[in-house]
Amino acid sequence: MTFVVCDDEEIQRKKISSMIQTIYPDALIMECGRADEAVAMSRTVQVVVMDIDMDNGMDGIEAAKNIYKQGTGYYSLPLIIFVTGYQERMSEAFSVHAFHFMLKPIRKREFETVLREAGFAVSKMLKAAADSKDDIVIKYGRETISVSRSEVRYAESRGRVQVIHTVSGSRLYSGTMAELEKLLGDGFYRIHRSFIVNMDFVQHYDRTEVNLLDGSSLMMSKYKYPGFVKSYVAHISERS
């Protein structure tokens, strides 16, 4: 977990950092005393714990707006936890979609609960981001769909149309085989002018064909065989 703790009072910064370290001993914690510094530092962290009321420039609400502007919008990382001595500022805190709002003096047990909830939320968001990177977008005619790369077993060329075979069925793609090969990227290999295989699904291969886990057999080009062997060995080494 990575944090920025922003408060114009050093004593408060140290207290908050100490409580974070208790819950997340391996956490990377950066501190600052100005909201504009928090905005700059927030680019590389997952959680910002910030005082709303600052006596040295930008306040926490304005900082939160700037943090979201440089990211992907509300409900994205970093999460913002506001702390303040003024309960009347709660509505402002939630107007910028803060993850949580806490009143000073901070109660240790309550803060620990909020930190654990933030950790859980960060984990879910990181997993969702990783899952989305696994997807590719394919088009056929007027239809555009998203397909998970990890579910693609192999692809084959049928003239001007490419067929993507997934674990849940087949999808058509109107681009070229070369375009599809580039789209699928690492972990896939074009073993023949008509076939691209997901190396995670390979069960056995020789100089003439590749057999997949589901029993499918794909033709291997003799010109592609040496390159495939080299790529496959490297792939399974990375995976193990």
Q: Which CATH number fits the domain that encloses residue 164?
A: 2.40.50.1020
Structurally, the chain folds into a number of domains equal to 2
Structure tokens at 22: 């208790």
Both 217 and 231 in a single domain? yes
Q: End of a domain among 105, 132, 159? A: 132
Both 74 and 106 in a single domain? yes
Both 89 and 152 in a single domain? no
Both 94 and 179 in a single domain? no
Both 121 and 152 in a single domain? no
**196 close to 152: Cβ distance less than 8 angstroms:** no
Return the ∠ at Cα 190 (arms to 186 and 192), rounded to 5°: 175
Both 85 and 143 in a single domain? no
**Peptide linkage before 25 cis (omega within 30 of 0):** no
Cβ neighbors of 95 (< 8 A, separation 6 or more) are: 61
Return the ∠ at Cα 39 (arms to 131 and 80), rounded to 5°: 60
Residue pLDDT tens, the chain, 240 long: 999 999 999 999 999 999 999 999 999 999 999 999 999 999 889 999 999 988 878 899 999 988 888 764 445 789 999 998 888 888 887 788 889 999 989 999 999 999 999 999 988 887 766 665 678 888 888 788 888 888 899 999 998 899 999 988 899 998 899 999 999 998 999 999 999 999 999 999 999 999 999 889 999 999 999 999 999 999 988 765
Domain range enclosing 183:
135-239
Side chain identity at residue 79, one-letter code = L
Both 144 and 122 in a single domain? no
Q: End of a domain among 78, 102, 132? A: 132
Q: Which CATH number fits the domain that encloses residue 96?
A: 3.40.50.2300
Both 56 and 6 in a single domain? yes
Side chain identity at residue 218, one-letter code = L
C-alpha to C-alpha distance for 135 and 213, rounded to whole angstroms: 22
C-alpha to C-alpha distance for 107 and 105, rounded to whole angstroms: 6
**154 close to 197: Cβ distance less than 8 angstroms:** yes
Both 97 and 119 in a single domain? yes
